[in-house]
Structure 1
């Protein structure tokens, strides 16, 4: 499984460049070839997940490596770890198949742009891979040289994020994209043994994000304008929780950091808590709550948010809310992964 397997190429012509399409962009039926594509917010074009692009391939890599690493962790069977290491080598290390450490051509829009700053968020699928590498480390299935090369790869990706015009544009976003930028560059930098970058990002979060993106009532106003406002509110809070977890690695407590007026993660979680088991009172746009909507997905994202909050705040009331949603979620890998750790945490 490799970026070179896709049937299309990015504008660069280099199959080693990651290439994806914006999820909510569709052919314009009024144009002979459908281009330029037009936006339908919240409605995913299945073309994005086809063999021509890398998004689905990266998603499968992330899931497979995570599942294999967890299987090894719980069973001790070295075969799982060896297979995970093989997948990692193909995607990140082998000269013939590895991905170039940039996201310049992520979330392209046919007829509009060859790649967008918003595409950096595709990199969130690397987070489970990094966590899995940590689980695999004691097995020594990746050599010390390979570990150093992986650290260098993610360090190069973080450097590209910090210095490229694409990365700088994404950092300036005032919605979930800006917050995910912070999470990703902090995660990649920590893995690359550059904790000073994560420290800078996390310590500045109150000024750069809370003061600009958190409302007085705890809501995230940019997310409430979306057609999937419930999803994006929870997804963004989950990202902040993960960033707060990284803060613990550098001695910073983002969990309990508040602005002078009280805005902070706890208040934003309280805003969402009001709607637990009362989704019918959610007055903002959300396709999941419409007839035929994907309620399972909406409940899954809430489950993850509250379980993360429960761990971070050591607060069983948040954990209980996560378990409430877990009881309603079916067919979820996220539920499987998190529930095992949740059981150990209680």
Structure 2
């Protein structure tokens, strides 16, 4: 039974606390499931609370109730849209090009003379579950569209009657527009800035865009231009306007889409797949842990229900691939992209939960359960390793390559292939990892983005989980160095020193607690965490030194590999140069349609070593 203190904390928690992708040793969970450790009681209470929330709100399916399906026509095929892509319709009109409103409100999108394009649709950042923020923003957005539409119809009526006095006409026309507050003064301004990709990131906020006619299919990281606004067009370069009204969804196939790094198109939220994966995987993991903590069958039943509905059931389950993950919409676009596998990184939590169930040796998890999920994972792993989409994800030098390795390695562990998993880990740390962290701790392929703190944290999320899996398999990757002398520890320390700007520094909290568990306490860690409510987070239960057996803090030194020099110096570190991936191309794609160059990265490799206050 949970302690009285833990039960009281559980009652006090009023909302689920989201957690990043993580891994916790099953033996540690079982050993500490029902102990009376005061220091982790709040974290365990949060886990149990999250399990209850998931049991009440779930289960979830990737099938869209609005009838939208993948290009295959199979409702069981996972479908999501690339979040950083916006329509660039460029209609031929009387001086303006128009974005077709791509929401689900059913607005008439027939372009009209002199009608300005809608303002930027504001929405939550990638891979989040912020439906409340999204719906509030869409409501504001649709209200603005309605007022604008009425205003333009009024303008057209006025222009059909020659005004007796131009000044009076101007006065009349100014009245409707005065009812629309600037974005900075509206309800949209209440929303927090974006925090994390497809976890729990709030709404992206910005003011209305300045007019611009320039668009490009090649977008470079670090530059975040506003989505297309009304602009003067030339007949030779514009697209003939439709002669009849178009359904909002017609934008998806009629207009080309262009990348805007860091600008999330909110209509990606009209598909339920990403949110269902995130909530379902979190819910399964939380209920697996809650069952281990309490022994109450209701948590086991909830976990079964979530897993079955999301992946296994004939009527609601997801096919074992993401062939249509993060599709870039536009004419002729009918397949997913290399960023799609990122949507299914929640599979890590599913597998971790299964391993915990099986290690606890209870009657809740049956041989049939074990076989069903292993069959699904076997098919998915085969697709991930052999498809062109999966192969490109594997080749990426940034977080996409890191998360690919994470999912592959843990899938191999579930399927009983621990040696294959070790090979996967070794290959990653010998190759991709070698270019990821500079001597200073900067992560150039992440720091080059428009939201650098977020992406540093995102890659750290996967790196730390990889180190934990290696720890579980008996190897030490915690002290592994890149060719420049960078380590996971240095990357955590560097991220703590940089100015977060408008980004949410709390994204770094679980990585700092993981660093403290692996490398030991420090004044810098203590100072950072003193400003955060970290002990209520589920990750605080995972991030205990007793959960690790091969980290620097481990009492038993059973690491099979020692990568750092005993004197703490950098063994064989080299002067920064263009990463190897640039040998075949002058620019490297690090997200859909978003590229970086060697010239952008080199200054980041040469950043000075972080100084911790």
Structure 2 length-normalised TM = 0.49
- Matching of residues 256-295 of structure 1 within 5 Å: 256-259=479-482, 261-275=484-498, 279=499, 289-290=501-502, 295=503
Q: Which residue pairs with 1:4 in the alignment? A: 63
Question: Are 1:130 and 2:351 counterparts?
Answer: yes
CA contact (8 A) 2:437 2:484 kept: no
Question: Are 1:301 and 2:507 counterparts?
Answer: yes
Question: Are 1:326 and 2:529 counterparts?
Answer: no
Question: Are 1:155 and 2:215 counterparts?
Answer: no
Q: How much has 1:102 moved relative to structure 2? A: 1.0
Q: Which residue pairs with 1:336 in the alignment? A: 537
Relative to structure 1, the CA distance from residue 307 to residue 87 in structure 2 (aligned partners, 3 Å threshold; closer, same or farther) is same
In 2, distance between residues paired with 1:142 and 1:190?
18
Per-residue CA deviation, residues 233-290 of structure 1 (Å, 9 max, x unaligned), is 0111121010011112333211011246522222322322333xxx2xx5xxxxxx33
Q: Which residue pairs with 1:285 in the alignment? A: none
Relative to structure 1, the CA distance from residue 91 to residue 260 in structure 2 (aligned partners, 3 Å threshold; closer, same or farther) is closer
Q: How much has 1:105 moved relative to structure 2? A: 0.8
CA contact (8 A) 2:509 2:529 kept: yes
Comparing 27-36 with 146-155, which one deviates more in the overlay? 27-36
Q: Which residue pairs with 2:412 in the alignment? A: 189
Relative to structure 1, the CA distance from residue 108 to residue 261 in structure 2 (aligned partners, 3 Å threshold; closer, same or farther) is closer
CA contact (8 A) 2:478 2:518 kept: yes
Matched residue SS, 1:233: helix
Q: How much has 1:61 moved relative to structure 2? A: 0.9
CA contact (8 A) 1:17 1:100 kept: yes
Relative to structure 1, the CA distance from residue 108 to residue 314 in structure 2 (aligned partners, 3 Å threshold; closer, same or farther) is same
Return the match for 2:300 from 55, 59, 81.
81
In 2, distance between residues paired with 1:318 and 1:135?
33
In 2, distance between residues paired with 1:269 and 1:64?
28
Return the match for 1:234 from 454, 457, 469.
457
CA contact (8 A) 1:162 1:168 kept: yes
CA contact (8 A) 2:434 2:483 kept: no
Q: Which residue pairs with 2:258 in the alignment? A: 38
Matched residue SS, 2:284: helix
- Matching of residues 44-59 of structure 1 within 5 Å: 44-50=264-270, 52-59=271-278
Q: What residue ranges of structure 1 are gaps of 5+ in the alignment?
A: 283-288
Q: Which residue pairs with 2:88 in the alignment? A: 28
Q: How much has 1:11 moved relative to structure 2? A: 1.4
Q: How much has 1:20 moved relative to structure 2? A: 0.9
CA contact (8 A) 1:93 1:150 kept: yes
Tell me how large the CA RMSD over aligned residues is: 2.6
In 1, distance between residues paired with 2:345 and 2:404?
9
In 1, distance between residues paired with 2:289 and 2:440?
39
CA contact (8 A) 1:303 1:325 kept: no
In 1, distance between residues paired with 2:386 and 2:449?
29
Q: What residue ranges of structure 2 are gaps of 5+ in the alignment?
A: 1-59, 92-99, 101-249, 548-613
Q: How much has 1:149 moved relative to structure 2? A: 2.0
In 2, distance between residues paired with 1:322 and 1:158?
39
How many residues are paired up?
323
Relative to structure 1, the CA distance from residue 326 to residue 170 in structure 2 (aligned partners, 3 Å threshold; closer, same or farther) is same
Q: How much has 1:118 moved relative to structure 2? A: 0.8
Matched residue SS, 1:254: coil
Q: How much has 1:129 moved relative to structure 2? A: 2.1
